[in-house]
Amino acid sequence: MPFTPYTHTNPDDPGREDEGLFGPGSVTWQIMSSRIMWVAALRALYLQALHPRVIRGTLQNAPGITQPVDGWARLRRTRKFIETRTFGTTAEAEQAGRRVRRIHRSLTGTDPDGTRYRLDEPELLLWVHCGEVASAADIARRSRLPFSAADLDAFVAEQRASAELIGIDPAAAPASMAELDAYYEQIRPRLYASEEARHALRVISLPPVPDGIRVLKLGMPPVSILAFSTLPRWARRMYGRPGGPLSDMAATAGLRAARMMFNQQRLFSGAMRAIYRAEMAGERAGS
């Protein structure tokens, strides 16, 4: 049976019930509307894979995610959820959140020693949440989007509403960039690049693409490499590719160049059409 995608009312629709969890005056709307957030999304995946239980549980419950068809179908579902959560009405966002929580409640993972765990454990949910927020904030800052340090703090604080939506106690989620940094210092001893994480690294770096979509075959690897290069040095070190200060400077320069490229309407529209074709190929195969 096909998966019904998350849907939301267009923000420009005058008949909308309300402005949702954030609204047009929020930093969240401004950051998440930027096209450079596609790089942030890939960066978040690399980062999230460093928690062994998160990546293990993901691959155990969605083994097809590394295949061209299923992987792009799941990308569409995740993308539609984020859009609904961010830009939908309050009712639409809450409905999407209930759906995600219901799915996560039914999922478990198994450690190599046979220990079973729930995928909706607070630590795992918080790790995924922080990976997304940290990636969006860091890419916004380094690509020179027009946000101050106070704006980025506001973004992190606003995202506690997103955390609550998927079942996290908002009081447990970071409320500033400093708290986000402190969170990473605290959790780093429990992170490492497992074999599953290294497999995810290979898949994201050279993502499988459905046949006939040449634009993605050519365009995705450079964007994936750029996203990896923006990871914190400690995260790259876990993957065995630490780089150094010059690598960090090159990544920042690459982000700024990518932002200018993404602002070229014809180029970006062509890329989005290719992504849509890949996503829909997966949806049709699953129907």
Contacts of 81 (CB under 8 A, 6+ apart): 6, 96, 100
DSSP alpha helices (H): ranges in the chain?
Answer: 27-32, 37-48, 52-61, 68-87, 90-105, 122-142, 149-158, 160-165, 177-187, 195-205, 214-229, 233-238, 245-262, 265-286
**CB of 24 closer than 8 Å to CB of 103:** no
- pLDDT tens, position by position, 92-101: 999 999 999 9
In terms of pLDDT, which residue wins out, 272 or 116? 116
246 pLDDT higher than 70 = no
Distance of CA 19 to the CA centre of its chain: 23
Report, as an integer, the average pLDDT of 187-193.
97
pTM equals 0.91
In terms of pLDDT, which residue wins out, 73 or 236? 236
The H or E element containing residue 108 is strand 108-110
Report, as an integer, the average pLDDT of 226-230.
94
Based on its alpha-carbon atoms, the radius of gyration of the chain, rounded to whole angstroms, reads 18
- pLDDT tens, position by position, 64-106: 777 766 777 788 889 999 999 999 999 999 999 999 999 999 9
